[in-house]
Structure 1
Amino acid sequence: MEKPIVYFLCTGNSCRSQMAEGFGHKYLEDKLDVYSAGIEAHGLNSKAVKAMAEVGIDISKQQSSIIDHDLLNKAEYVITLCGDAKDNCPVTPPTVKKIHWGLPDPAKAVGTEEEKWQVFREVRDQIEARIKDFSASL
């Protein structure tokens, strides 16, 4: 039997949704099939890969992709990670449960390299905490 699908969406499928997919594979894979996509595909952000490696999760083989409408329509859960994805997500059937986690885009962080890096870590940790809570609610 197929598992229900969770689909993590953000603008470019380069940082937040990629990290969410990585944590999804760790915490949700026993219950759900995990995917991510973007309104656009901006490529995998190397700092997101590094941030996830710090916590022992390799997302380097994940692909940046645009939303697959068939997958979107089959999903049990669609979790948007930014306002752009929430506002521009294509219409889904009423059976799809939409959840919004508005998180800052770490790729747009400003400041010194260390300050920017800290934003990646903070967003990563917020995503992990939300996925743990989401998993516990299933």
Structure 2
Amino acid sequence: MTSKTRVLFVCTANAARSQLAEALLRHIDSEHFEAFSAGTAPEGIHPRTLAELQHLGISTEGLRSKSVDEFAGERFDYVITLCDKSALECHALPGASEVLAWHFEDPASSDRPDAFRRAAQEIAERIKMFVLVKTKR
């Protein structure tokens, strides 16, 4: 059996988007992928992030806000940045075989009442496409 594809999702605060992405990838395909998340300036998980995942019936077990420094020296098949700021700060992350830059609006700084739901839906759609492409034989 081959080892799982390791994916690190990065955004600035590791409060919303990268946490959603980590939990969603685990939920969508934990058979082929190992998901992690980190922030360039972690602030703790936004309570609405956890509320949205629970609303969707997705496990929040083990989620915590982490700095990218915690993963120094680890190898990842993909490092996926989820905001322009982290894309600029992470362009030279060591240990990344491939860096992908995805951009999603930060639901934590949005005044839209459905911001977290929209972010979760948009990130889930992108992850489903990523999984489809990366698991094709």
**How does the TM-score come out when normalised to structure 2?**
0.88
The equivalent of 1:118 in structure 2 is: 114
Structure 2: tracts of 5 or more residues without a match = none
Query: 1:49 is aligned with what amino acid?
Result: L
Please tell me whether residue 14 in structure 1 is matched to residue 15 in structure 2: yes
Query: 1:69 is aligned with what amino acid?
Result: A
Query: 2:131 is aligned with what amino acid?
Result: S
Please tell me whether residue 46 in structure 1 is matched to residue 15 in structure 2: no
RMSD: 1.7
Provide the C-alpha distance between the structure 2 equivalents of 1:103 and 1:50, rounded to a whole number of angstroms: 19
Provide the C-alpha distance between the structure 2 equivalents of 1:41 and 1:130, rounded to a whole number of angstroms: 23
Q: Go from structure 1 to structure 2 and tell me whether the alpha carbon gap of 1:63 and 1:118 turns closer, same or farther (over 3 Å shift).
A: same
User: Which has a greater percent of helix?
Assistant: 1
Once superposed, which parts of structure 1, at least 4 consecutive aligned residues long, lie more than 3 Å away? 92-95
| Cα deviation 1:60-103 (Å, max 9, x = unaligned) | 641100002222xx100011000111000151459611111100
Shift of residue 39, structure 1, vs aligned partner: 0.2
Please tell me whether residue 134 in structure 1 is matched to residue 130 in structure 2: yes
Would you say how many aligned residue pairs link Structure 1 and Structure 2?
Answer: 131
Structure 1: tracts of 5 or more residues without a match = 111-115
The equivalent of 1:57 in structure 2 is: 58
- Percentage of matched positions with identical amino acids: 28
Q: Is the 8 A contact 2:107 2:115 kept in 1?
A: yes
> What secondary structure sits across from 1:48 in the alignment?
helix
| Cα deviation 1:29-81 (Å, max 9, x = unaligned) | 1112110000011101100111111111132641100002222xx10001100
> What secondary structure sits across from 2:13 in the alignment?
coil
Q: Go from structure 1 to structure 2 and tell me whether the alpha carbon gap of 1:47 and 1:60 turns closer, same or farther (over 3 Å shift).
A: farther
User: Which has a greater percent of strand?
Assistant: 2
